[in-house]
Amino acid sequence: MMAQPGRLTRHDVAHVAALARLHLSDEELDLFTGQLGSILDHAADVASLDLTGVAPTAHAMAVTNVLRPDLARPGLDRNEVLAEAPSVEDHRFRVPRILGEAP
Amino acid sequence: MSAGGPSPAAELAGAVRGGERRAVEVLEEHLASIDAGEERIHAFNLVTRDEARAQAVAVDRRVAAGGDPGPLAGVPVALKDNLCTRGVPTTCSSRILDGWRPPYDATVVTRLRDAGAVMIGKTNMDEFAMGSSTESSAFGTTRNPHDTTRVPGGSSGGSAAAVAAGFAPMALGSDTGGSIRQPAALCGVVGMKPTYGTVSRYGLVAFASSLDQIGPFAHSVADAALLFDVIGGHDPADSTSLNRPTPRVLSVLDEGIEGLTVGVLSEFLDGAHPEVTARTRQAAEACTAAGARVEEVSVPEVRLGLSAYYLIAPAEASSNLARYDGVRFGLRVDAEDTVAMNTATRSAGFGAEVKRRIMLGTYALSAGYMDAYYNQALRVRTMIIEGFATAYRRFDVLLGPTTPTTAFTIGEKVDDPMSMYLSDVCTIPTNLAGHPAISVPFGTDGGGLPIGVQLLAPALGESVLFRAAAVLEAAAPAPPPTGRWS
């Protein structure tokens, strides 16, 4: 018997939202805590099964070692790709700063 | 060229290839239908008039020059808006991709063009294909052509509605947990989900990569077969594409099902509305009348499908949708540093259903919960595959309802995600197993709303699937009055 995870809390939802790079308002936190909790309640039938010895399937029609000839081919047009970017500088994607100020 | 039942799209293509109709005329007729009905239905995010006209002119030129433009010559085809079209906006009905123009075409788009099809527009869908009603679209809900107070189903609701309303004789959708078959059933058209790996996913915006498959919508089984034959086959650009012969189905449609065994899946009948159950039983009788041996069969593992799916699909989605970070394409909401920019962009760009599924998937994959949820779900997936394998040792195809109910009203389920998810309970197990399945219109309920019955087959069993579908189509009660082709 697999150990049953405890009831999803508001704190759990806030933590998961941060991992997923989502900011939730207080109202959204309340709403999602309830809704995700009820979905996970439904998933308890899966979580509580004893499946010792059953192999997991990640892919129903798995194919392995897919190779192609090692030949140079044209890629996507750089200007066409960069034209869709929100911000570009010197043919590169431009983003806000990544590191904070040095302490 | 077509076998068995009606095939309005194949007839159009035949007329264009033979020079009796011009592709531009065919296109203008469909654009006129869109002009007359689109405001009421909202099937499209974008009608690509100029691109379609250029393609139709090119088809007519090839015919005039004595060439053969292909098996879909001049046939307007609507594309779900998660299929990449070079230079043409592809939104997934999400604000985070609003205005994005892909730098390449999906393989299915290339194959359609090579077959002479005319791409008429990009259809509305649930945001990133997450939903069963199109109500999670950022651009408004599509309405069911049979009753505009009701949903068309989803997530490929715009494609199903476009075909049902006569805006296009054919459409493509994608099916991760029923997103082709469920709206096909609710809109009274044919919709088919192929064996995983038979249709290239290159250029299909990913939702749950181990489950997603592109497939056809059409008015008839023969037209769905024609479209499947055009889009199927190995593609080196998709590493999950099966490098083996894809079943060709159009040529076997009239072979019937005499001597085959059909299993009526009892788990799918449980919980279905009595009128849906009655139509499914009537379809089973039609199989018997066609010479098949029909028996009820239980595959108890499929009861676990819904729960396993709502752990696996969100887990894969949470990973796939990490790419929407405001850096390379689509929306960016500026902030003082990159993590804040990523967060602001995603919070503004994704709707509630997408956020729910990303969080559910992130949770199911997070430290401490991965074994209890995600890994358990993968083991259940094995059990479902084995359950089907046992059934397919005795049966050639399985039969059940496509959906537990007919089309529900707009707004009815939006505040209760779990009740929305339950509308895919009969379609999800197929995706987990990687198998093909098809929904065929089979009469209506007492209120005149379409009912779809579903046939399931083992992996690469498309030939027997389409043969059985043709039998059901021929035996179906009078089709509901849909659009111009009925």
Residues B27-47 pLDDT 10s? 999 999 999 999 999 999 999
Query: Per-residue pLDDT for A61 more than 90?
Result: no
ipTM of the complex: 0.93
Residues B216-262 pLDDT 10s? 999 999 999 999 999 999 999 999 999 988 889 999 999 999 999 99
Residue B122 is among the residues annotated as catalytic for this protein? no
Test mutation, B334, B380, B462, chain A, max A CBs within 10 A? B380
**A46 touching B (Cβ < 8 Å):** yes
Query: Per-residue pLDDT for B483 more than 50?
Result: no
Nearest residue in chain B measured CA to CA from A33: B356
Query: Per-residue pLDDT for B105 more than 90?
Result: yes
- Among the listed residues B2, B80, B174, B318, the single catalytic one is B80
CB contact under 8 A, B346 and A13: no
Query: Per-residue pLDDT for B479 more than 80?
Result: no
Return the pLDDT at B6: 81
Per-domain boundaries in chain B: 8-299+385-475, 303-382
Instruction: Kindly report the pTM of this predicted structure.
Output: 0.96
Q: Give the whole-angstrom CA distance, residue B267 versus residue B391.
A: 13
Nearest residue in chain A measured CA to CA from B100: A84
Mean pLDDT of all residues in B324-346:
96
Q: Could you write out the DSSP letters of every residue in B233-297?
A: S--TT-TTS--SPPPP-GGGGGG--TT-EEEEEHHHHTTS-HHHHHHHHHHHHHHHHTT-EEEEE
CB contact under 8 A, A93 and B383: no
pLDDT band at B486 (very low <50, low <70, confident <90, very high): very low
CB contact under 8 A, A60 and B347: no
Residues A5-57 pLDDT 10s? 678 999 999 999 999 999 999 999 999 999 999 999 989 889 899 999 999 99
The parent domain of residue A14 ranges over 10-47
Return the pLDDT at B244: 87
Mean pLDDT of all residues in B331-349:
97
Within 8 A by CB and 6+ apart from B34, the residues are B44, B47, B120, B121, B167
Residue B179 is among the residues annotated as catalytic for this protein? yes
Residues B347-378 pLDDT 10s? 999 999 999 999 999 999 998 899 999 999 99
Q: Give the whole-angstrom CA distance, residue B454 versus residue B175.
A: 14
Query: Domain spanning B8-299+385-475 has what CATH number?
Result: 3.90.1300.10
Return the pLDDT at B480: 58
Q: Which of A39, A66, A84 sits opposite B418 (nearest CB)?
A: A39
B140: closest CA of chain A, how far (Å): 21
Return the pLDDT at B481: 58
Return the pLDDT at B484: 39
Residue B298 is among the residues annotated as catalytic for this protein? no
Query: Per-residue pLDDT for B482 more than 70?
Result: no
Q: How many CA atoms lie within 13 A of B7 on its CB side?
A: 22
Do the domain assignments include residue A19?
Answer: yes
Q: Which of B103, B337, B362 sits opposite A98 (nearest CB)?
A: B337
Residues of B in contact with A45 (CB under 8 A): 304, 307
pLDDT band at B155 (very low <50, low <70, confident <90, very high): very high
Return the pLDDT at B473: 97
Q: What is the largest CA-CA distance in chain B?
A: 70
Return the pLDDT at B4: 59
More confident residue, A67 or B42: B42
- Among the listed residues B94, B179, B220, B439, the single catalytic one is B179
Distances (CA, A) of B265 to B4, B135, B180, B305: 26, 30, 20, 14
Mean pLDDT of all residues in B51-57:
98
Average pLDDT of chain B?
Answer: 95
Q: Give the whole-angstrom CA distance, residue B337 versus residue A17.
A: 18
Residues of B in contact with A76 (CB under 8 A): 103-104
Return the pLDDT at A103: 62
Q: What is the rounded radius of gyration, in angstroms, for the C-alpha atoms of chain A?
A: 23
Q: Which of B366, B376, B418 sits opposite A46 (nearest CB)?
A: B376
**A23 touching B (Cβ < 8 Å):** yes
**A76 touching B (Cβ < 8 Å):** yes
B271: closest CA of chain A, how far (Å): 16
Within 8 A by CB and 6+ apart from B192, the residues are B180, B181, B215, B216, B224, B228, B436, B437, B438, B439, B465, B469
Residues of B in contact with A68 (CB under 8 A): 236
Q: Which of A17, A54, A96 sits opposite B336 (nearest CB)?
A: A96
Do the domain assignments include residue A23?
Answer: yes
**A53 touching B (Cβ < 8 Å):** no
Query: Per-residue pLDDT for B382 more than 80?
Result: yes
CB contact under 8 A, B306 and A42: yes
Mean pLDDT of all residues in B297-311:
97
CA B130-B479-B4 angle, 5° bins: 100
A91: closest CA of chain B, how far (Å): 12
CB contact under 8 A, A60 and B459: yes
Return the pLDDT at B217: 98
Q: Which of A90-99, B131-140, B390-399, B473-482 has the lowest mean pLDDT?
A: B473-482
Number of domains into which chain A is organized: 1
Query: Per-residue pLDDT for B1 more than 90?
Result: no
Q: Which of B66-70, B80-84, B190-194, B242-246 has the lowest mean pLDDT?
A: B242-246
A61: closest CA of chain B, how far (Å): 6
pLDDT band at B186 (very low <50, low <70, confident <90, very high): very high
Test mutation, B376, B413, B435, chain A, max A CBs within 10 A? B376
